[in-house]
Amino acid sequence: MSKTGDVAIVGVSGLIGETLLNVLDEHEFAFGRIHLLDTEDRAGGRPMLKGQSQRVEVLERFDFAQVAVVLFADAELATGWAAQAVKAGCLVVDACGAFRGEADVPLVVAEVNPQALQSVRPRGMVSCPDAQVVQTLVALQPLVAEAGLQSVTLATYQSMSTVGSDEVEALALQTGRLLNGQPAEKGAFDKQAAFNLIPRIGELDDSGNSAVETQLADDVRRILQLPQLPVSVTCVLVPTFFGSAQVMQIRTGEALPAKRAATLLRKAPGVKLLDRASAGGYPTPVADATGTDQVWVGRLRQDSLDPVSISMWLVSDNLRKGVALNALAVADLLIKDHL
């Protein structure tokens, strides 16, 4: 099969699928023909791609043998159809994390551990981690490579789109009602989300951690290949629709001055440093990260009492950088190096 293999994208009608198409429209990848697929009740639309309208084909009638790589943008569809794609000889990119907990499916951030793609077979699948993991590791990797790592403490400030479309709609409804003097309806939330902060995403286990927090910590350890690394995570839902922010504190293996850390981050792929003492010299999810391809870093500083402790502020477009770009970059690497 040609290295410039054809690609299918399954589940193009959701938030992830729509973002994948937007990124595809703006970037060049080593893809041949691109097939857009969705279930029969959602197929038939004609989104624009590279200046031309392209019909969304019916998933149930598609022959996967036509393509080299299949990207799944919907977890339910991935669970139901990925095995069939592999059986037809395709490599599968799980962009929605449906298989990220399976040990024989490599978990990959394109800028951090592309070497893990060498184990894509025999299973024939590669999974992409959550956008929070991508954001964390893209900024963390260059510092770890320089100075090692003892621990990570992370607080995430996540928009509604990091959770799902139901939460996006519920926030819009609550906001509209409150601005019109009406009481907020909880909708998808336990408490009012509009103009508020929710310090828990999902149910808690016996240790007080949510599944989202535990998964984030486990994925960071797995991708860095540091199974005993102490990682503490607190996930907070904030009243914004898109974008993601984090406060990350790391303890490195040896002292890493803030100026040296800044130099490493400026050179790192996928990172944009905005860290000035002047007004506005820091990035925000809405004003800076939305619609961009980088993880933005600001408020970079070294603890005056602990020379191996560094703190930073991270923001990114969660759907674009954290999901779509990573999945497409992984598919690109598969076509170039692993067909």
DSSP letter at 95 equals T
15-26 and 326-337 helices cross at what angle (nearest 10)? Answer: 60
Residue scoring higher pLDDT (136 or 14): 136
Helix (H, G, I), strand (E, B) or coil at 307: strand
The pLDDT of 103-120, averaged and rounded, is: 96
The pLDDT of 103-129, averaged and rounded, is: 96
Is the pLDDT at 113 greater than 70? The verdict is yes
Is the pLDDT at 74 greater than 50? The verdict is yes
Q: Which helix (H) or strand (E) holds 21?
A: helix 15-26
Residue type at 50?
A: K
CA end-to-end distance (rounded Å), the chain: 7
Q: In the structure, what pLDDT confidence band is assigned to residue 4 with cuts at 50, 70 and 90?
A: low
Structure tokens of 116? 């893990």
pLDDT at 11: 95
Structure tokens of 187? 């909708």
Contacts of 273 (CB under 8 A, 6+ apart): 262, 265, 266, 296, 297, 298, 300
Percent above pLDDT 70 for the chain = 99
The number of angstroms, rounded, from the C-alpha of 61 to the middle of its chain's C-alpha atoms is: 30
Q: Are 135 and 316 within 8 A, CB to CB? A: yes
pLDDT at 294: 97
Is the peptide bond between 122 and the residue preceding it cis, with omega within 30 degrees of 0?
A: yes
pLDDT digits (tens, 9 = 90+) for 149-198: 999 999 999 999 998 888 999 999 999 999 999 998 888 888 999 999 99
Is the pLDDT at 96 greater than 90? The verdict is yes
Phi, psi at residue 90, to the nearest 5°?
-90, 155
Structure tokens of 250? 């790391």
Is the pLDDT at 2 greater than 50? The verdict is no
